[in-house]
Amino acid sequence: MNKRIARMAALLFHFVLAAALIGCSNSSQPAAGGNSANASSTEAGKKIILKVGHVFSADHAWQKSLEGMAKDVAEATNGMVEIQVFPSSQLGGDREVAEGMQLGTIEMGLFGTGALQTLDKRMIVEELPYAWPTREQAYAAVDGKLGEALGEVMKEKGLFALSWWESGYRHITNSKNPIEKSEDLKGLKLRVPDADLRIDTFKELGTLPTPMPLSEVFTSLQQGIVDGQENPLSTIYSSKFQEVQSHLALTGHIWGSAVLAISDKKWGQIPEDYQKVIMEKAAIWKEKEREMIRQDDEKLLAELEQAGMKITRPDVKEFREKVQPVWTKYESVFGKDLIDIVRQYSK
């Protein structure tokens, strides 16, 4: 009797094992570029919705470009992939969006790399002051070895870099005095992003750097909590800082990229054919967004001057010399290999 029960139990075990193996053989295969693909969503006709957040206003080049990319992706996938764009920190500030992507509550984000330094300090290596004499050198770096290296850092943090866009060269505005030389910065209370590198850079230049989120800057300038701020021209204009600032100095102290990223977990759930479309459109709109930023700069300068801002063009050689201690200090933070990549492209 015991032998019969044991034989029946063995038969039942093998039946269950066979069923499990059959089930595994029918499961979907992983898609390239992600952790685990959910290819069955293609078969079931399941629509994919991707929310993407950023901090800038609806008339900024980021918003226009994201809307264009969303339209192209929808058309190429017959409406099966819908990218919903949320400007003006509607999904939260940079940090909240990045954390939401890690948690899986937000699918995508577009960030200046400075915003990601809270995830890993290496993300802001491109913001070493006066690293990029020309835009073309910066583009070559983020489209080449530097972008690859930073993409690996992001993947460690659960984010997948789709393409590298542009924030642009950063310039200084203030309400106190024109800036013709570095001494004119002394004692200015300057809003900066909450990034040690930026804080240290402006300490070397003699200002009193004050970290705060971008969403608080206009009111702080208006109320005199800070004297000035530093940002690309497109951000200065779209944030309406010309209404509360009287001086603009074209210092070009930092060139910043912007990275369009998706939650790595979500990326792994998107079928491979849709992944290919998203990557293709991200690459196309990267180029269009960069062109928008370049074209906007000259136009925005004229509009900012017309709005009453007094524009100065200081000789930045003195500025560059003053910030050299920052490069020395941050070699131990970023690692010599990463800084050497920056040097390779910035020569």
In order of 54, 75, 86, 328, the CA distances from 284 in angstroms are: 19, 15, 20, 37
* Residue-wise DSSP of 89-152: TTT--HHHHHHHHHHTS--EEEEEGGGGTTT-GGGGGGGSTT--SSHHHHHHHHTTHHHHHHHH
Read off the tokens for 345.
Answer: 């492209």
pLDDT at 45 (0 to 100): 74
In order of 99, 104, 124, 170, the CA distances from 325 in angstroms are: 32, 40, 17, 20
Length of the chain as a residue count: 347
Contacts of 84 (CB under 8 A, 6+ apart): 49, 50, 51, 52, 70
**pLDDT range class, residue 268, cuts 50, 70, 90:** very high
In order of 14, 18, 165, the CA distances from 6 in angstroms are: 13, 18, 66
Phi, psi of 257 (to 5 degrees): -85, 180
- Rounded to an integer, the average pLDDT of 79-105 is 94
Amino acid occupying residue 221: L
Contacts of 271 (CB under 8 A, 6+ apart): 31, 37, 38, 39, 41, 42
- 236-252 pLDDT, tens digit per residue, is 998 999 999 999 999 99
Domain boundaries, the chain: 34-346
**pLDDT range class, residue 118, cuts 50, 70, 90:** confident
Query: Quick check: 23 pLDDT over 70?
Result: no
Query: Quick check: 38 pLDDT over 80?
Result: no
Q: Are 170 and 256 in contact (CB under 8 A)?
A: yes
Percent of the chain with pLDDT over 90: 79
Beta bridge partners of 52: 85, 108
pLDDT at 214 (0 to 100): 87
- Residue, of 18 and 179, whose pLDDT is higher: 179
* pTM summary value: 0.81
Query: Quick check: 33 pLDDT over 70?
Result: no
Question: What's the mean per-residue pLDDT of the chain?
Answer: 88
Contacts of 303 (CB under 8 A, 6+ apart): 237
Instruction: Give the closest residue to 264 by CA, choosing from 90, 37, 95.
Output: 37
Element (H, E) at 188: none
- Residue, of 298 and 90, whose pLDDT is higher: 90
pLDDT at 181 (0 to 100): 95
Instruction: Give the closest residue to 304 by CA, choosing from 254, 251, 256, 246.
Output: 246
**pLDDT range class, residue 114, cuts 50, 70, 90:** confident
Fold topology of 34-346: D-Maltodextrin-Binding Protein; domain 2 (3.40.190)
How far, in Å, CA of 249 to CA of 80, rounded?
A: 47
pLDDT at 62 (0 to 100): 96
Contacts of 99 (CB under 8 A, 6+ apart): none
**pLDDT range class, residue 217, cuts 50, 70, 90:** very high
How far, in Å, CA of 26 to CA of 82, rounded?
A: 28
